[in-house]
Amino acid sequence: MKNIAYLFDLDGVVIDTEKEYTKIWTEIGDKHIPHIKNFAFQIKGNHLNNIYQNYLSHLSKEEWDEVLEYIRDLGQKMTYNYVDGAKEFLQELKAKNHLTALVTSSDNHKLEILYSKLPEIKTFFDVIVSANDNVKGKPEPDPYLLAAEKLNIEPEKCIVFEDAIAGIESGISARMYVIALSTTFSAEVLRKYTPKVIPDFKDFCLNCI
């Protein structure tokens, strides 16, 4: 449908990096807040500012800068592969001139690394909202509302694809229809938040919605 926009999270939705980020954030959690269990899963999809404020504000500026540098360094070395079927689905949307947006908690530094490794990915999206946009991060609705505003479409006409609880909550709060991918959390967990859950985009198509 031409009057529908398709909004995508990045990690765990378009690119298959969640396992690597889980490892990175587990190491950070074990080092700085070992008393918090499953830290990496608790912060999935959250803006870095929210992670700092809610969990790591006890760190000195130097320690937090070291955390950011560690994440960025590993991000530079990371392998970026598409989630199964994601590239093909995005190509289908582009070919049919559907409105699309990338709505990610990643910053522009991370995105520039991504573009250098997968240069075509930028062409799949009409709008890109990142952590550098001056809005409250997920789980607040602001990133998705900003994407809808930039696409000049009502939030109720947007379909969101998310893998993290914070992202799902963000999309729902923005009054959008959310489809969850079970790339990070189990389908059983995700169905507590949204009824539509898919494993990936391998057998997914516009008529599947």
**pLDDT for 57-88, tens place per residue?**
998 988 888 888 888 877 777 888 999 999 99
Mean pLDDT of 170-192: 96
Separation of alpha carbons 7 and 131, rounded Å: 16
Extents of the domains making up the chain? 5-17+82-208, 18-77
Indicate the average pLDDT of the chain.
90
Q: What percent of the chain has pLDDT over 70?
A: 98
Domain spanning 5-17+82-208, CATH architecture: 3-Layer(aba) Sandwich (3.40)
Q: Please give the residue that has the higher pLDDT: either 15 or 51.
A: 15
Q: What percent of the chain has pLDDT over 90?
A: 60
- Per-residue pLDDT band for 47 (boundaries 50, 70, 90) equals confident
Separation of alpha carbons 137 and 143, rounded Å: 6
Mean pLDDT of 199-203: 94
Checking if the pLDDT of 7 tops 60, the result is: yes
Separation of alpha carbons 82 and 141, rounded Å: 26
Q: Given this model, what pLDDT does residue 2 score? A: 60
Mean pLDDT of 3-24: 88
Q: Given this model, what pLDDT does residue 95 score? A: 94
Residue 190: exposure state from Cβ atoms within 10 A (0-12, 13-18, ≥19): buried
pLDDT 10s digits, 28-46: 888 889 898 888 878 776 7
DSSP 26-71: HHHHHHH-TTSTTHHHHTTT--HHHHIIIIITTS-HHHHHHHHHHH
Cβ–Cβ contacts within 10 Å for residue 196, how many? 14
β-strand partners of 160: 7, 178
Q: Given this model, what pLDDT does residue 65 score? A: 87
Q: Given this model, what pLDDT does residue 84 score? A: 96
Q: Are 159 and 6 in contact (CB under 8 A)?
A: yes
